[in-house]
Amino acid sequence: MRQILYVSSSTVTGDKADLVTILEQSRHNNAVEGITGLLWSDGARFLQVIEGPTASIDSTFERILNDQRHYGLLVQRDVTIDERQFGGWTMAHRRATDPVDAYDARMRRLLTGASDTVRNPFLSLMATGSISA
């Protein structure tokens, strides 16, 4: 299996970012393709980890790379894995009005099974607004 972790910037910022559509497409396609992972967004940036059968990740990541809804995509991690680190596929979106504590607790729960190399970029982005992978 292949696992990719990347960061990118939303072309459309704020709550207008096309998050609902992205989530619907991803939920559907990823279920069909056997892809699991986590997509984080604050409306301005994305941090996503996807994992699954190599052929599925290859074709899905190709579509993601060409998606005009984001730019400046930077791969943080691209590895072969034996076991999944995420049981399902989820998107965690923080709205400006979400209480920070509840949101952080939710993210920590979602990242429970992940290795430090995957968890740390998420936690550092949440905490400081910048990635130090």
Residues that bind ligand FMN (CB under 6 A): 22, 25-26, 29-30, 39, 46, 48, 50, 60, 63-64, 67, 69-70
CA–CA dist 37, 41 (Å, integer): 14
Toward ligand FMN, which CB reaches closer, 105 or 129?
A: 129
Toward ligand FMN, which CB reaches closer, 39 or 92?
A: 39
Locate tokens 């559509």: which residue? 21
* Edge-to-edge order in the sheet of strand 70-80: 70-80, 2-10, 45-52, 36-41, 89-93
At residue 89, φ and ψ (nearest 5 deg) are: -115, 125
Toward ligand FMN, which CB reaches closer, 5 or 64?
A: 64
> Residue 69 CB, nearest distance to ligand FMN (Å)?
4
